[in-house]
Amino acid sequence: MASEVKITSQDRTMSDAWRRRGDAALRVIAAVPLGYAVACIWAMALARLLPMNAAEATVTATLVAFVICAGAAMWAYAAPSGWRAVWKLAAAGAPAGIAAWLSITATGRL
């Protein structure tokens, strides 16, 4: 015979506490390393694609990347859930990654 497992309100509270901790950890991961990675990818893509000389394009792309990094961190904590923050930030970096990759394969230089 299978014995029934009774879930008490204390067990539910512990489960909710771990769920909140996990959500907070995901938001930190989304805000710091993922936000930085997205900003770097956008800086790389913009530096390669802006129609300026190389030095001006790099400076402009870096300044835009600071704004993107700050926006990514704010979005990570404003998102409805930690997983949604991670996936939306990854999706935000994908077009820049594709653009940078296509630019590198087309011109053959980093």
How many structural domains compose the chain? 1
- The pTM of the whole model exceeds 0.85: no
Answer whether residue 70 is part of any domain: yes
Average pLDDT value over all residues in the chain: 89
Answer whether residue 103 is part of any domain: yes
Amino acid 105: pLDDT: 93
Using CA of residue 102, residue 109, residue 48, residue 97, what is the dihedral sign? Answer: positive
Tell me which residue of 47, 58, 49, 41 sits closest to 93, measured CA to CA: 41
Answer whether residue 90 is part of any domain: yes
Answer whether residue 94 is part of any domain: yes
What secondary structure letter does DSSP report for 7?
P
Q: Which domain holds residue 85?
A: 34-107
What confidence tens digit (pLDDT) does each residue in 14-37 have? 688 888 899 999 999 999 999 999
